[in-house]
Structure 1
């Protein structure tokens, strides 16, 4: 695909006329622009240099009538030999450009994450919901949720901490069982023929074809039988909270704990970096339960308890003493 054809596809997308076949065609072209494994293998310094310079250079290339042959040769050789420093920025720029353009062309496209046996993989969805995917499982989800309901598909087991949004219900499809929530935390485990749902906080509803809807409250569990198409509440909730949350950052309760120990826990859970503007904050003690709270709510609770103020800039958080009025 040359750049003229690419522009045509972009124009069709903006007019709402891009077909599924053309979307695949576009993604295949973008796949040819970069090598993700090569990108990940590069030194951090080269990655950072490309982030600030390579993207703009590649955008400028799009305005040309055709893709220069020399660029094609550079990318081809980079797949067969060790990456030379002279082409590193081109490869990185291509990889970043592919993902940036896809986010424009198909922001709600589906993607997937998987976890291996004995491992837990965490992912923060576009709405701020956190998913801990447990061993041998797969989650299919949109890169960015649209204006309707937030819908994902689960195979296996995962612990969900769903961001509260009453206007956009969160739905998990697990076989023919649908779990609907507004903002809560719960665990789902599916074996293919049976799905068990355990609620930690909030309220959820379970529904399936030819089965009555069931509401679950905190500390309640239910099991859905796929062959029988039946949902039943478990009378003996034998699965403990500790067992369901083991290996995750879900538990965020602190009792007289130094902020120096609290901050790393928050950073790990939300994938952020917290900058304490005053070193004395590290020694402050805090007693609070941030479990099932969003990042913003967590920082608001800390600020109120310790008379601080904060500012969130992307994944960076500034936490400092509140100015006296």
Structure 2
């Protein structure tokens, strides 16, 4: 009896376009659970009721009809579309998105800038320099999906019923609850996904054939976008990303060319490495949130090197070769 009264009340609010998104969701649930009562309720009114959409809900590119449309005709048309689309679930989701669209959020980091973002579900994201993260203000439907260009470290809140998906170009990473790092800069040929805890599924959508790999902690997936190849490797030093997500890079015997590559990415600059320095090894820590001259000053402690600015780029060279 209580549900019948609630159905009648929400139906009246629906006809007068006064339903909130939550009330509309409840109204559709009651219609689904009380089909007989709902049909009787509608049949008493729909022949004489005009369906007039709220202002602003219909896109400008859809012409506005001059003739009146009865609610019965409107409901029949919508019902036909819903049957094709897949049923009540999609009906409810579609109406919610129409009446109360989810706002798309975007975070953009500049050179040497790092930010921490907390999503609605409790997931935390550490966004690296020169990176973009796009995500909905509220998650709906069956999954939690975000888009990334650049690099980010994720601590995903566990939710077994709603997978968390990170889309980065042709690469899609799916998890339930875990911590991992994704490096997916658009200008770079290789994308890397490194896992610290949990379990991750990585898929590559390629023209030749789609590929998939599942990785465990201390493993990494490397994707060659040009060759459209995906392979999995062990990566025991995965813990370095706990510091790297904050902009602190730890090097324990890393080739100088690789360190230069990181500096270029973080500061969005070009660095020319002088002859004979490519294979020099660097030990040390670099704070990529500091000014670039501080990072370069630390870098040139290797092999008696120096650095200078030459126009729009930097040059690292050996003393006496300038």
Give the TM-score range, shorter chain: 0.3 to 0.5
TM-score norm. by structure 2 comes to 0.45
Select the structure of larger CA radius of gyration. Answer: 2
TM-score, with structure 1 as normaliser: 0.44
